[in-house]
Amino acid sequence: MEKSEDNDLFNYYMEIGAIELSGIDESGEIVFKVTDTAKDMAPELWKAHTDYVDDTLLELYSKDLISVEYDENLQATISLTEEAQRIIEDKGIMPLE
């Protein structure tokens, strides 16, 4: 895809609310996030986003950098090592606090 097509697609996602401004990181870079609106309005974006997050978490799990515990209702709780948290933040997955 060409840069102008990428820009057009990004602008479209912004217009429909599938992507929104999330904040600015420590280095001054603007951070955007994929919203729940993308599930219905931009399913291809939502799938790419969830695949990216899932792949990253599986990679970290396979390296023993995260652990998953389930409660009696099978609700998962994910615990991160400091290294896992750094990797997730570097990949832009963690929300700004």
Q: pLDDT band for 24, please (50, 70, 90 cuts).
A: confident
Q: pLDDT band for 95, please (50, 70, 90 cuts).
A: low
89 compared with 71, residue with greater pLDDT: 71
DSSP strands (E only) in the chain = 19-24, 30-34, 66-70, 76-80
- CA separation for the pair 7, 86 (Å, rounded): 29
* Domain map (residue ranges) of the chain: 3-90
Phi, psi of 69, deg, nearest 5: -120, 145
Q: Which two tokens stand for residue 75?
A: 């609700």
- The number of C-alpha atoms within 13 Å of 63 and in the hemisphere containing its C-beta is 12
